[in-house]
Chains A and B, each alone.
Chain A
Amino acid sequence: MNASIIRLGIRRLVRQSPAIRRLAVALCGVGLLATGPLATAPASAKEYLVTGVKPNGLVVIDPAARKVDKIHRIPGGGVAPGTIVPSPDGKIAYVITNHLDSVSGIDLDSGKEVFRANFSSGTERVKAMFGMDISPDGKELFVFQAPVRLLPGEYKVEDTRIAVFRTADGVGAKAVRTFPAPRRVAVLAFSKDGGTLWALGWDLYAMDPKTGAIRDTHKLLNWTRDNFGPPDILDVWPQFEQAAVFSTPYFTSRTDLPPTDPSAFKTGMLTLDLASGTVATKEFEDTSAVIFSSVVNPAKRGEAFSVYTQLSKIDAAGGALVKRVDLPHTYYSINIAGDGKEVYVGGTACDIGVYHPDSLDRIGQIEIPGCPDQGVASLRMVKR
């Protein structure tokens, strides 16, 4: 599908721009890291956005104040922070780092590394592509892993799996258990009650977090819908903490219409209610825009916002595009205030754009000092 080609192409463009890389190098300066203590947690919970920047930066943003609160340095090797998972108490952010080879838990107040698991050992090289989540009690961290055995003279690809770490094990943590997982998982998301670990891959799997047993499979790539081809989904942005609903765009095509017919290509929204376990898919437009990721409005749960070069407001439940505006540049990630009154777009470059949920007007902006590249890092919300 063209849209997907554009996804890959544009991602490369932005990631590789010399200007962005130059500025990323500038961020290495110690002066920009750790700009002061995180604002003391007020009596009522306050929201902070957390994102990653190259090289190895973890950024805490006060969206209400429209300013960056802190930039912490993620220790160890690597350049681009990947998936970010906040602890349920909002105190720690777990970040895929070290060229997908490690997860680092950073205390958001002190910037100290309080947890670290390095995945590879001996002749086994392990990469954590994207999927990671934490149990609602904050005790266990689940990481989707793709291992390869490095033998003399050859590699042997091994089966993918989910590794479980005890967060209390801190720096040097080892997996306390692993269980097999289907290949190509990109998102892990816990149910609200902690009883189900959802995994988005070719299909959407409901797994038992204790045993790894797949209890239920919602078919996606393997769906059999009359007159619809298999959907294309690539969502590597877990952005479900506000509404407790995971959402992702999907692209599909009508097999009963000729490819020359513009209505043959459809964009839809998949939602997974992490409280009820309800999965829904609904097309909302003839494909007319590239979309990378989306977020559901916690104040109006049938409504979603999606992002790439446009910000879209989508009636996910009704299957309609409500409004769409152009953005100044590409944004990969999106999140939303707990009261649904502000939408935040991030990723890709070095700013967070703040948008009004109804007018989709740009009502604010947060610049990350030194203009570092956020790349594909998650944009998460923590409450303190």
Chain B
Amino acid sequence: MRRMNGPQRRRRRAGLLTGGLAGTLLIGTGAWAAEPPRPDEGNAKQIITERCSTCHERQADGSLHRIDHVRKTPEGWTMTLFRMNQIHSANLSPEDSRALVAYLSARQGLAPEETAPYRYILERLPAVVETPIADGDLSVMCARCHSAARFGLQRRDADEWKRLANFHLGQFPSIEYSLQGRDRKWWEIASTQTPQVLGQKFPFKTKEWADWQQAAKPDLAGVWAVTGHRPGLGRYGGTATVAVERDGYSVRYDLTDAGGKPLSGTGKALVYTGYEWRGTATLGGQEVREVFAASKDGQSLSGRWFLPDHDEVGATVTAVRTGTAPTILGFSQEHVKTGTSARVTVWGSGLDGGPVDFGPGVTVKTLSQSATAAVVEVAAAANAAPGARTVSVGKAKGGGFTVYAALDSVLVEPAFTIARVGGNGGATPPVSAQFEAIGYLNGPDGKPGTADDIRVGALPAAWTLEPFNEAAKLMEDVKFAGTIGPSGLFAPALAGPNPQRAFGTNNIGDLKVVATVKDGAATLTGDGRLISTVQRWNDPPIR
């Protein structure tokens, strides 16, 4: 069977980044037989040559102006194509865009090492506070309006970064007037120093990308041991069975939650740039989006899934191939208190090869055991030594389980996050915030809040809100900003000016989120900060 040419493939195959998946397997045999599936590139090459080049003229060196001098993630290319349609009348159909994202992500993507520092933005992980970038004042010049990840996930040389600066001020002339734009000669800096810094930090040509282009890309078909954490709901685990389907993969999830209830479903995914897994699935009856990265050797996957319309709600995901080295990935409950017992599921790979051991002072009764899950009843003796345990199941070993007698401290996670008002007839839904109360032991130094503290894990708590500061107290933020439920879920109040408030202002608030945890006779509290703010009106794939 020969490979079909562009137009033929385009008619019969389609893929898309974050929507449904459709198409027909057309990847041929021969040289590609051993290769993993690649998202259909349709007639992308032809579109670029015949249509994009109308504006992006071919240069003396044969390259196309702009297009051939930029590398981006699939989301980055999606945003570019959206803009080309929106303000440059590129008139690309959804099918054209899907093909172009596939083609450009493969030809001009980022290597796994290049995306690693910024995956949170692709995963739409809430509560990330970026580390300021001191070089060239990039955190102010660029990241005062959008994330540092947004430019950290692009690669250009200085002249091309300079073109981007020209686009910025040309499209958004208020940049020079906004806060931290008007306190400096923004344009003079943005058009001279900033492109140089960006070109040095994030250049078009890198060894990482050159190596990744040459590297064999992993085939992700197989059975995977999976575990992850859903903030507010706890851990889950089980298996994912991945099979090649058309230009991507199908997946079947056989998962259970921390309480042992099924959290199963099926999904489909495309893998861009050889490692960027973008999927849609139904899990426990809910539709979710998946943003995972495969390791270069194809032995592990990690990332996040989230709800399409509420991406603040989701879960972390870690997966390893079964049948390789035995390993423990996680526990349905990460702790047991001395003098008590608990039913714990151990998730991982190669767990059917031997006895389950939680260390001295903890007796284990195995209730069931398979390659990817061991369900046990653990009982910690009253005099069991408190501390972190290395658990073993046969040859598989894993940390992350703690025996404790009395908690030393409680921290609220996340320590700082935001929520957003929404609804009330407006165009944007509210954005919630999920908190968890995490117990800790002091560790060897006997002091809380130090590096040797031992994590006990999430614990049930009573949740309350307090004004974060005097201004919040004066504005009665606690009364107006929203409510927090028994699971630590903050639900913001409705959007829009509120005539009941001072100055008729919106239901925004600056809040201290307090968790109160009972541990035997003791009561411990921890707190975090929540700013519930206004709606985000423009919410691109990379913020």
Contacts and interface: CB of A to CB of B under 8 A. Distances in A.
A5 B535 CA distance: 16
A148 B170 contact: yes
A4 interface: yes
Given A18-B424, A100-B173, A156 B166 contact: yes
Interface stretch (A6-14, A334-342, A361-369): A6-14
Nearest to A21: B426
A129 B176 CA distance: 10
B425 A18 contact: yes
Most buried by A among B54, B185, B188: B185
A29 interface: no
Contact of A221 (B65, B183, B504): B183
B157 to A, nearest CB: 14
Chain B interface size band reads: 35 or more
Interface in A274-331: 309, 326-330
A183 B187 contact: yes
B87 to A, nearest CB: 10
Interface in A155-171: 155-157
Interface in B156-179: 163, 165-167, 169-171, 173-174, 176-179
Given A221-B183, A232-B183, A153 B65 contact: yes
Contacts of B169: 148, 157
A252 B68 CA distance: 46
Given A13-B534, A154-B65, A183-B187, 4 more contacts: A129-B177, A153-B57, A153-B65, A232-B183
B171 to A, nearest CB: 7
Given A129-B177, A153-B66, A329 B187 contact: no
B141 to A, nearest CB: 15
Contacts of B533: 9
5 contacts: A16-B537, A129-B173, A129-B174, A148-B166, A221-B183
A146 interface: yes
A335 B541 CA distance: 44
A156 B164 CA distance: 10
Given A183-B187, A329-B504, A18 B170 contact: no
A330 B501 CA distance: 12
Nearest to A4: B179
A157 B66 CA distance: 17
A19 interface: yes
Contact of A154 (B66, B427, B497): B66
Contacts of A54: none
B57 A12 contact: no
Contacts of A153: 55-57, 65-66
B496 interface: yes
A183 B177 CA distance: 10
Interface string B426-461: 110000000000000000000000000000000000
A13 B56 contact: no
A236 B191 CA distance: 25
Interface of B: 54-57, 65-66, 163, 165-167, 169-171, 173-174, 176-179, 182-183, 185, 187-188, 191, 424-427, 495-497, 502-506, 508, 533-535, 537
Nearest to A156: B166
Interface of A: 4-5, 7-10, 12-14, 16-20, 100, 125, 127, 129-130, 146, 148, 150, 152-157, 183-184, 186, 202, 221, 230, 232-234, 236, 309, 326-330
Contact of B496 (A8, A18, A157, A183): A18
Contacts of A234: 177, 182
B532 to A, nearest CB: 12
Contacts of B497: 13-14, 17, 19-20, 329
Contacts of A329: 497, 503-505
A100 B535 CA distance: 25
Nearest to A186: B177
A99 to B, nearest CB: 11
Most buried by B among A129, A150, A152, A221: A152
A155 B167 contact: yes
A253 to B, nearest CB: 12
A328 B66 CA distance: 51
Given A18-B495, A152-B57, A230 B534 contact: no
Most buried by B among A8, A20, A146, A326: A146
Contacts of B179: 4-5, 7-8
A127 B503 contact: no
Most buried by B among A130, A155, A236: A155
Contact of A184 (B177, B191, B537): B177
Contact of B178 (A8, A18, A19, A330): A8
A184 B496 contact: no
Contacts of A155: 163, 166-167, 170-171
Contacts of B188: 183
Contact of A328 (B165, B174, B185, B504): B504
B476 to A, nearest CB: 14
Most buried by B among A7, A8, A156, A230: A156
B502 A326 contact: yes
B450 to A, nearest CB: 26
B55 A202 contact: no
A154 B167 contact: yes
Nearest to A147: B170
Given A125-B170, A148-B170, A329-B503, A183 B534 contact: no
A263 B535 CA distance: 34
Contacts of A8: 178-179
Given A157-B191, A230-B183, A127 B173 contact: yes
A285 to B, nearest CB: 17
B204 to A, nearest CB: 16
A272 B48 CA distance: 56
Contacts of B506: 13, 17
A327 B183 CA distance: 29
In order of increasing CB-CB distance, the 3 nearest A-B pairs are A148-B170, A155-B170, A329-B504
Nearest to B165: A157
